[in-house]
Structure 1
Amino acid sequence: MNLREQAEKRVDAKIKFQENLYKYLIVNTIIAIICFVFLQSFWLLAFVMFFWGIGVLDDFFKAYSLNSYREEMIQKELSKMGD
């Protein structure tokens, strides 16, 4: 896998996370308004926020944290092998 393919993969993961986060915020805002006005309870909002939030966190870790950490580990191993 060349550098361009790796960069495209990272950018795609970041775009996916950002899109999912925007959808999460918009939909949960709408559900919060509906819950406040019509239902007078927030169990539906809590349910949606929790389970969808798990997916958003997963996308975040795939896009930002895990990729950079993995790359650092690979670079360390390559430098050890070169010595």
Structure 2
Amino acid sequence: MELEQAYQNESLEYKRAVKKVKALKGFYGHLSVYLVINILLLIVYTWNEGFINGLKDISNYFTAFFWGIGLVAHAAGVFMPNIIFGREWEERKIKELMEKDRRNSWE
């Protein structure tokens, strides 16, 4: 029985680690695309409007700004997932739902 429990805990830890690695990979991919696209856009804007004018025009930064908000939200979800919905909340919710299913199956 103890060996079985240990295997289940190890399996759960492995699944969590895989999930975390996928989340990190997704974030770093998002960050890479953000940087490449926004650098290319800035190059295009400065090429078309002249270097100084392209850098001065605030409208050239709208894409980077609003996309950056989404990137920050993505980073918060990857690096700070336990702030709102931590592991304790997750375990309580699982137990709550399992208990609810048990009660509904008896009715």
Q: Same fold (TM over 0.5)?
A: yes
Q: After superposition, where does 1:4-83 map in structure 2 within 5 Å? A: 4-39=14-49, 40-41=53-54, 42-67=57-82, 69=83, 70-71=86-87, 74=88
Ranges in structure 1 where 5+ consecutive residues have no aligned partner = 75-83
Shift of 1:55: 1.7
Ranges in structure 2 where 5+ consecutive residues have no aligned partner = 1-10, 89-107
- Given that 1:16 and 1:59 are in contact with CA atoms closer than 8 Å, whether structure 2 keeps it comes out as no
Shift of 1:24: 0.5
Q: Give TM-score, length-normalised by structure 2.
A: 0.57
Q: Give TM-score, length-normalised by structure 1.
A: 0.71
Q: Distance in 2 between matches of 1:15 and 1:6?
A: 14
RMSD value, Cα: 2.6
Q: How many residues align?
A: 74
- Given that 1:20 and 1:56 are in contact with CA atoms closer than 8 Å, whether structure 2 keeps it comes out as yes
- Name the counterpart of 1:80: none
SS across alignment from 1:26:
helix
